[in-house]
Amino acid sequence: RNCDWSSDVCSSDLPHVLQAIIRAGRAAGVPVVVDPRPGQDYTAYRGATAVTPNRLETMLATGIEVRTIDDAFAAGRKLCDTLDLDHAYVTLDADGIVLVPARGTPQHLPTRRRQVYDITGAGDMVLAMIGVGLASGLDPVTVARLANVAGGLEVEKVGVVPITRDEMRDDLRA
């Protein structure tokens, strides 16, 4: 049926569609990474490989206000436990990313300070880098480091623009 996903017309179908996508991805061995919609109920994302919420989204989903790195660790752990995730990437804007694996030690991966011109597209760039990295078989820590670089390069530009491999390479070398 024809749905307008931005309205309530098919909102009751959305969790079922998301669960079908997650199950299909898992069955095919394809990582399923979710940039969650702001809100409190993340149950539709149960079983995904990873989620990439920012501070506010993390707080809304877990009830834990993310003021410190330890807060992000606790909130990421709660997301992994309640949603049966492999890991959570809690994005912390200028403070980088916290990677919380379902099993193992959480890590804070700081980013370097940048001249911020426009944050538009930064979250999508981080999500894309995490997806590409995991699909390529990179380990989650390397993926988080690359996502920091990609998101950082995006905020140094105005608008939503592609980040090239050469830009990534140059930034990593610097």
Q: Which residues pair with 89 in a beta bridge?
A: 99
Query: Running DSSP on this structure, what letter comes out for residue 39?
Result: S
* Residue matched to tokens 């989903």: 61
124 is catalytic: yes
Query: Are 111 and 97 contacting, i.e. CB atoms less than 8 angstroms apart?
Result: yes
Q: Is the Cβ–Cβ distance between 93 and 129 less than 8 Å? A: no
Q: Which of 124, 139, 166, 171 is catalytic?
A: 124
Q: What is the DSSP string of 107-136?
A: EEE-------S--TTHHHHHHHHHHHHHHT
Burial 69-86 (b: 16+ CB within 10 A, else e): bebbbbbbbbbbeebebb
SS3 148: helix
**Active-site residue set:** 124
